[in-house]
Chains A and B, each alone.
Chain A
Amino acid sequence: MSTVTDRPVPAGGQLPPPAPARRRRRSQAGIAHVFLTPFLLGLVLITAGPLLASLYLAFTDYDMLSAPSFVGIENFERMFADQNWRASVSVTLRYVVISVPLQLAFALLLAAGLDKGIRGLSFYRSAFYLPSLLGSSVAIAILWRQIFGDSGLINQALALIGIEGSSWLQNPDTALSTLIVLNVWTFGSPMVIFLAGLRQIPEELYEAARVDGAGKIREFRSITMPLITPIIFFNLILQTIGSFQAFTQAHIISGGLGGPLNSTLFYTLYLYRQAFVNYNMGYAAAMAWVLLVVIAVFTAVYFLTSKYWVHYGDE
């Protein structure tokens, strides 16, 4: 008889109260880890293990033929003396610093223009969002290469109005800009996030502002902007992380070399060349760790400065 009582068996109409979370905590650890088996295997084999291994490799010289030899911080010293590496840092930073704010500005402005029950919202949203889905594909990189090519769409259009085009992709001053334009073109996904955020702003605020005689610009500056800062923050982090890792477009458009004159030598492109063309695995691992640290620093700066410009309402 007494052995039955320690299991909560519902009898008749008397249901036991919902099991409190505290009592279940002990018993579910085992079953949770069964559910988490794929995740934990992935964590060890695909994420944490390789992360540690790449940290080790960063201090070695390894060509995949002979065993890795420990070289201390030589890889990092070599990096700072490496002209190509310095070029790749400069290209990537310029790309991130210019294209991310531009992309977010377009995303926010169009989201603000699309809000407020505009007709055909879903049509506009789809049309603006489509490039985001396609943007990272090889097909679009091929298209872009043609658009800015010597006899490409841009120069054909310029010729129609009597302007002689330029060799956009052959000119080190303009080659990076074409890739920035491509990134800005994919503003649709941050725009959709902005749209979702704008929905959350209570309409009463705008009504109150209108009663006070505020104009559209004033409304945007005093209501929309402050209330949307958490979404800006979120988009800023996501797009920065994504842009630091841009690869496909540069690899296709520059034929894998990052030219002309290293002007499109994205960091990941140089890393790819060092690792998988030259098989300098140690050097490439060191480069990867620098990228990791730089992304972490950017993210940390966003978080640290966020209290000055991100407003979380009353909470």
Chain B
Amino acid sequence: MAALLTAARGGGAAAPSALDARRRPRRRLRRLLRHLFLLVFVLLMVYPLLWMVVSSFKPGELVLTQPGIVPEAVTLENYRFGWNALNEPFTHYLINSFLVAFGAILGNLFSCSLTAYALARLEFRARKAYFAIVLGSVMLPMHALVIPQYIAFSELGFVNTYVPLLLPKFLATDAFFIFLLMQFIRTLPRELDQAAMIDGASPFRIFWSVILPLLQPALVTTAVFTFIWTWNDYFTPLIYLTQSEMYTVSVALKSLVDVQTSSGTGILFAMSLISLVPIFIFFITAQKYLVQGIATTGLK
């Protein structure tokens, strides 16, 4: 398809007819206008973020008076104050969030790849029923489950631990990723499995030595999305984590909101930005995988 597109583009430029020649300046103008429009739109979209970056370096009072993104004065005070404004230094919450996010990645990679392999490759009667359950649970609102889950975890004494945040990941409850990995496994030639089977490999061996290595791009996609979603998640840690030393970054930010008055906007911005840095890094390094993952399954 891509070849077709480029061919169509190249063909138009390489064989100019008299008609094309007359139209070319107008087309160039139109193209320019389109880029101009798109760039203005991009600026509009990204302006709030730029402004937040700049404002986080402004001395407190100026945040509330300057809409521009060229700072008149630069200070690191917001970061210094923000870092120590809560019970623990902000580093503590960052580490908590990383622990939870990496735990979630481990859980999803483990459980979703096993499930996806079984549903995509093994033959058994209940397969279709399980797949229907996977698809159906994508539509299931988490709120219909969260109340009994909370009651159960609280009875078991798991409130204020990371168990309620991580256990579901190890039990393949993120149906999106099962679906994504299944889609990917389906594109791998079945002959590979069959050849391995003829060589006497067990399904476990095939999964581990044949499928998993080929699955790498989809596994990276799963890992990156799991990281971003877990890092951003607010509802679950809000419910389960009540002691401030257990807080993840999102709950820590919320308590910073409660502590700071409006004059502390710069401080809030500084810490908010710090919380977005890991996502930015993942976004920049794994863009290709993110876009692919989105396009194939429609993940957020």
Same assembly:
yes
Q: Given A142-B257, A252-B254, decide whether A51 and B295 contact each other with a Cβ distance below 8 A.
A: no
Q: Is B123 an interface residue (CB 8 A)?
A: yes
Name the interface residues of A265-284: CB closer than 8 Å to any CB of B: 268, 271-272, 275-276, 281, 284
Query: Are B143 and A268 in contact (CB-based, < 8 A)?
Result: yes
Output the least CB separation between B45 and chain A (Å): 6
Query: Are B42 and A39 in contact (CB-based, < 8 A)?
Result: no
Q: Is B154 an interface residue (CB 8 A)?
A: yes
Query: Are A28 and B123 in contact (CB-based, < 8 A)?
Result: yes
Interface segment out of the listed A30-38, A170-178, A218-226, A304-312: A30-38
Flag B130-162 by CB within 8 Å of A: 1 or 0 each: 100100011111111111111110100000000
Flag A112-130 by CB within 8 Å of B: 1 or 0 each: 0110111110101111111
A-B residue pair count with CB separations less than 8 angstroms: 269
Query: Are A124 and B171 in contact (CB-based, < 8 A)?
Result: no
Interface segment out of the listed B63-71, B72-80, B83-91, B215-223: B63-71
Majority-rule SS of B interface residues: helix
Output the least CB separation between B140 and chain A (Å): 7
Output the least CB separation between B127 and chain A (Å): 7
* Residues of the B chain whose Cβ atoms lie less than 8 Å from the Cβ of A70: none
* Residues of the B chain whose Cβ atoms lie less than 8 Å from the Cβ of A234: 298
Alpha-carbon distance A158/B210, docked complex (angstroms):
61
Query: Are B48 and A153 in contact (CB-based, < 8 A)?
Result: yes
* Residues of the B chain whose Cβ atoms lie less than 8 Å from the Cβ of A288: 141, 143-144, 146-147
Q: Is A166 an interface residue (CB 8 A)?
A: no
Query: Are A41 and B171 in contact (CB-based, < 8 A)?
Result: yes
Q: Is B279 an interface residue (CB 8 A)?
A: yes
* Residues of the A chain whose Cβ atoms lie less than 8 Å from the Cβ of B273: 139
Q: Given A118-B34, A151-B65, A245-B141, decide whether A35 and B46 contact each other with a Cβ distance below 8 A.
A: no
Query: Are A127 and B197 in contact (CB-based, < 8 A)?
Result: no
Output the least CB separation between A167 and chain B (Å): 13
Interface segment out of the listed A76-84, A95-103, A195-203: A195-203
Output the least CB separation between B30 and chain A (Å): 10
Residues of chain B whose beta carbon lies under 8 Å from any beta carbon of chain A: 1-2, 4-6, 8-9, 34-35, 37-38, 41-42, 45-46, 48-49, 51-52, 63-67, 110-111, 114-115, 117-119, 122-127, 130, 133, 137-152, 154, 167-168, 170-173, 178, 191, 194, 197-198, 202-204, 207, 228, 231-232, 234-235, 238-239, 249-250, 253-254, 257, 262, 265, 268-269, 272-273, 275-276, 279, 283, 287, 290-291, 294-296, 298-300
- A sample of 15 cross-chain residue pairs with beta-carbon separation below 8 angstroms, ordered by A number, consists of A31-B122, A36-B118, A38-B170, A39-B172, A50-B145, A110-B41, A137-B279, A143-B49, A156-B66, A160-B67, A192-B295, A196-B295, A238-B300, A241-B138, A248-B234
